Structure 1
């Protein structure tokens, strides 16, 4: 039986995905790697200084994908009660990322899977709209306004009440904010699961977050996690496949011989609220 999640993962690793590893001796440096260290930490200084993603090497020929998604990181407000501006420039950045993703091998595999699920072929315009609705269509709910799956999964939001962080399931965003010196926005608090493979890490941390309305608010993530090494288009494709597979909140999948509950929460039948892996 085919495994759509493994197919997308493998295609992404052949493309712009970056191999995660506990030991960089087993990687091809030319293809890049993410060295992962989900160790226990004690004391304030050790927590402040420890970097979960100790080394990240992204080859030049893969960087465009990460540059495209990074342009979207400042397009959203942390406060879920604020209406997003949605400028023309921001819409152009979304369009550029989606068009890039659509041309990628992971998304082509995902498209074939979605069409098989629907029992019909989609035109290029229908496919673009389908992807946009799942990831970028904004909606209002009890937890906020102008919400979208992309913002929640790739960027994260301030929780409606208090100082907690919602979402934030993209390893590259975490990596950019877990730097040294004045650019360090992350304090690593230690592992929260077995973390038996480097592809998925579950842990606790704090984020010092800012946007145009909020300056340096400390947000706490008691337990969070994400796939490590997936490219932006790889994560987009995996989420769409999960969305098309079943809208049930829990679904057991297998990637690289490791089982996960790939949790998903949707807004109706058109849009993603969030999805993330949980160790089984």
Structure 2
């Protein structure tokens, strides 16, 4: 991507992100709809050497108003997808007709939100998506749910990697950048929160922060460092990640974004015409945008 185009896309994506943030009516309110206990800073982890130290004795989430998770259509449809995958790479995914219907219902719910109704025209104007909603839905389906190989053929998808998470060689958690999945897996005893990574300019993240960098273990594998939005709706994340992915033409793209107090790099990796991975990296506040 030419440098001029990169800067233009970055500026436009940052402005769109601000609009999406403002339009995210389903975002949960920290301290009211949910509470987190950040506890200690995470330590260094050398994968496979068994030296991970847990600096958080208690779960990250101390409370979530689950009415939001079941009464809001996009949350409800999103949660229905989380048990559709084999977490280990190298195991082929089998998508049942029921699961295809669940994928479709989730996209229908997302497409009728204010957030996606902002993202779609942006992409149409950029000639990156069809104005026809049914064609755009099919494009989203292929980007997010079409299977590809990560450890073997058809063992992964963009949705699984980003929102559900995967394990590699039973040692490392890859992907897994969604707070709803984190909360539900933590509630079931599958996730052990091990501490946060603080920004240098801020000794302790705020418990009202909507973007955190965490360390945790899941199914005996470790995620040494991963950033996730906290409390945001599924449609916000899907809209932002989709736009960032479609703007990029290289195998990997990175956009520097500021929204409210948060400065972050939004990273996108492609797997052909599908999302390989996409996630935010929280930055120090004194870095340039």
TM-score category, normalised to shorter length:
0.7 to 0.9
- Indicate which of 59, 70, 82 corresponds to 2:91: 82
Greater share of residues in strand? 1
- Indicate which of 241, 244, 250 corresponds to 1:242: 244
The alpha carbon displacement at 1:47 in A equals 5.2
Q: Is the 1:47–1:187 Cα contact (8 Å) retained in structure 2?
A: no
Quote the residue 2:259 is aligned against. Answer: 255
Quote the residue 1:17 is aligned against. Answer: 27
Alignment of 1:34-113 (within 5 A): 34-40=34-40, 49-59=57-67, 62-113=71-122
Question: Given the superposition, is the C-alpha separation of residues 243 and 45 from structure 1 closer, same or farther in structure 2, using an over 3 Å criterion?
Answer: closer
Is 1:184 the equivalent of 2:189? yes
The alpha carbon displacement at 1:151 in A equals 0.2
Q: Is the 1:262–1:275 Cα contact (8 Å) retained in structure 2?
A: yes
CA displacement, residues 134-178 of structure 1 (integer Å, 9 cap, x when unaligned): 11111125x44322110001111111x341111111100101122
Quote the residue 1:228 is aligned against. Answer: 230
Quote the residue 2:17 is aligned against. Answer: 5
Aligned length: 252
Is 1:152 the equivalent of 2:161? yes
Q: Indicate the SS of the match to 1:145.
A: coil
CA displacement, residues 114-147 of structure 1 (integer Å, 9 cap, x when unaligned): 1111177521222111111211111125x44322
The alpha carbon displacement at 1:34 in A equals 2.6
CA displacement, residues 14-45 of structure 1 (integer Å, 9 cap, x when unaligned): 2x2213x3xx2xxxx4xxx2323322079x99
Quote the residue 1:164 is aligned against. Answer: 172
Q: Distance in 1 between matches of 2:140 and 2:262?
A: 27
Quote the residue 2:281 is aligned against. Answer: 278
- Indicate which of 149, 168, 175 corresponds to 2:183: 175
After superposing on structure 2, the runs of 4+ consecutive aligned residues of structure 1 that deviate more than 6 Å are none
Q: Indicate the SS of the match to 2:177.
A: coil
Question: Given the superposition, is the C-alpha separation of residues 46 and 84 from structure 1 closer, same or farther in structure 2, using an over 3 Å criterion?
Answer: closer
Query: Gapped runs of 5+ residues in structure 1?
Result: 209-217
Q: Distance in 2 between matches of 1:34 and 1:91?
A: 31
Q: Is the 1:5–1:241 Cα contact (8 Å) retained in structure 2?
A: no
Quote the residue 2:46 is aligned against. Answer: none
Q: Distance in 2 between matches of 1:69 and 1:86?
A: 16
- Indicate which of 201, 210, 225 corresponds to 2:212: 201
Q: Distance in 2 between matches of 1:239 and 1:41?
A: 28
Q: Distance in 2 between matches of 1:65 and 1:46?
A: 33
Query: Gapped runs of 5+ residues in structure 2?
Result: 1-10, 43-51, 200-204, 284-289
Q: Is the 1:76–1:84 Cα contact (8 Å) retained in structure 2?
A: yes
Is 1:264 the equivalent of 2:268? yes
The alpha carbon displacement at 1:55 in A equals 2.0
TM-score, scaled to structure 2: 0.79
